[in-house]
Amino acid sequence: MSKVIYLDNNATTPVAPEVLDVMLPYYREFYGNPSSMHTFGGQLAHAVNDARAQVAELFHARENEIIFTSGGTESDNAAIRGVLEAFPEKRHIITTRVEHPAILSPCRHLEHQGYRVTYLPVDDQGRLDIEMLREAIKSDTALVSIMYANNETGIVFPVKKIGAIVKEKGCVFHCDAVQAAGKLDMDMQTLAADLVSISGHKLHAPKGVGALFIRRGTRFVPFIMGGHQENGRRGGTENVAGQVGLGRACELAMSDCRTETLRMAGLRDRLEQGVLERIPETRVNGDVEHRLPATMNVSFAYIEGEAILLKLNEFGICASSGSACTSGSLEPSHVLRAMGVPFTDIHGSIRFSFSRYNTQEEVDRVLEILPPIIAELRDMSPFWNQRKK
């Protein structure tokens, strides 16, 4: 197979060499347990706390407002469960129809346990009506959980305005920033979120590590109970190497976030314009004005996204036909369904997502390879041929 062109960075990113370099000593030499009494282990507590400081800086937050977790899914679950347990008298949660399964699954589970969950709709561009949010908040609303940016479409929600409304109504606001972290500036001094989730493997740190920002003073019951780690807010022996890696990845993202964002947006736009010019009956899904710089979601009418992916795969091109966590099932994307995208377009939808390691040559190669693939598949498609008559 030719060299891989990896355009599936919303699913996961490669570990940056700078990140791997700082991690390796914690596997090879410094393998102790940070909770140990002896110096060999105990000294690692400094490494964990330095990493915590690096993560805090990405958020413009205080070190003691960051706990390490095993990733985005745990951070999201911990935020939801941690707040609900702290407010047992409140039985209502507000979220959106387009959240990641790491939010939607626990919410559905909580409905079975007697909670009311409001799933806010989005319009055909994937946008939220924030007045609807204002109306949805009731006296027993414990938590509003709304993502920063969508993993499938890249649509960025107006989280500052959302936070202001939630705080005005006296509720707790959790924001899943797994896809936004490292790509957009995040400042906890201006974002009125009480809890924010991030995941290492979406920003060039390894899989299996993440963090949760918990604003000072937020009522929170630990989701994972055990030892006294993370100041008693998350039990379990620390994943020291992973945490050190996440800290370095945050530092890396901070150092060139603005220039990298512009570069990735340039690559994304080059691919998008090229695709729209070369391939008829193609649509971009979602609000192009408020999107992550590195995400593009397009639909090629009358053909199956999975068939396109398999063909691209033959050329070593990696993309996705929906969220990584839901691919494997052929269920049409719940995000595109919520936006009212016609079924024929949902089935032919592909997500390309970029990272700091993608190049213009790669984009140009995709622009050479993709149009003949679409033409070939459409030639075989009865729907396409019928529609031409």
Smallest gap, in angstroms, from Cβ of residue 207 to ligand PLP? 7
- Please say whether the beta carbons of 18 and 28 come within 8 A: no
**CA separation for the pair 196, 72 (Å, rounded):** 10
Write the binding mask 94 to 133 for ligand PLP: x where contact by CB under 6 A, - elsewhere. Answer: ------x-x-------------------------------
Do residues 230 and 66 make contact, with C-beta atoms less than 8 angstroms apart? no
Considering only residues 45, 86, 324, 367, which one is a binding residue for ligand PLP as defined by CB under 6 A? 324
Residue 146 binds to ligand PLP (criterion: CB under 6 A): no
Terminal Cα distance for the chain, rounded: 38
| Catalytic residue chosen out of the listed positions 107, 175, 257, 325 | 325
Q: 194 is written with which tokens?
A: 């009480």
Residues that bind ligand PLP (rule: CB under 6 A) add up to a total of 16
Q: How many distinct helices (H) and strands (E) make up the chain?
A: 15, 12
Among 176, 230, 238, 287, binds ligand PLP (CB under 6 A): 176
Per rule CB under 6 A, is residue 205 in the interface with ligand PLP?
A: no
Q: Which is nearer to ligand PLP, 52 or 201 (CB)?
A: 201
CB burial of residue 329 (10 Å; 0-12, 13-18, 19+): exposed
Please state the closest distance from residue 114 (CB atom) to ligand PLP, in A.
25
Residue 210's H or E segment, with its range, is strand 210-214
- Helical residues (DSSP H) of the chain, grouped into ranges: 17-23, 25-28, 39-42, 44-59, 72-86, 101-112, 130-136, 159-168, 229-232, 240-278, 305-314, 334-338, 343-347, 360-379, 382-388
Is 171 part of the annotated catalytic residue set? no
196 exposed, middle or buried (CB, 10 Å; 0-12, 13-18, 19+)?
buried
Q: Name the one range near ligand PLP by CB under 6 A: 15-23, 69-77, 214-222, 230-238.
A: 69-77
- In the list 154, 182, 210, 242, the residue contacting ligand PLP (rule: CB under 6 A) is 210
**Bridge partner list, 8:** 353
**Residue 199 binds ligand PLP (CB under 6 A):** yes
- Please report whether residue 82 would count as binding ligand PLP according to CB under 6 A: no
Q: Which of 71, 106, 163, 332 binds ligand PLP (CB under 6 A)?
A: 71
Cβ-closest position to ligand PLP: 72
Strand 349-353 versus strand 295-300 pairing type = antiparallel
> Does residue 72 interact with ligand PLP by CB under 6 A?
yes
- Nearer of residues 201 and 378 to ligand PLP, judged by Cβ: 201
Tally of residues, the chain:
389
178 binds ligand PLP (CB under 6 A): yes
Nearest to ligand PLP of 145, 299 (CB atom): 145
The least distance separating ligand PLP from the CB of residue 68, rounded to whole angstroms, comes to 12
CA–CA separation, 200 and 72 (whole Å):
8
| Residues assigned a catalytic role | 325
Positions touching ligand PLP (CB under 6 A) are 71-73, 76, 100, 102, 147, 151, 176, 178-179, 199, 201, 210, 324-325
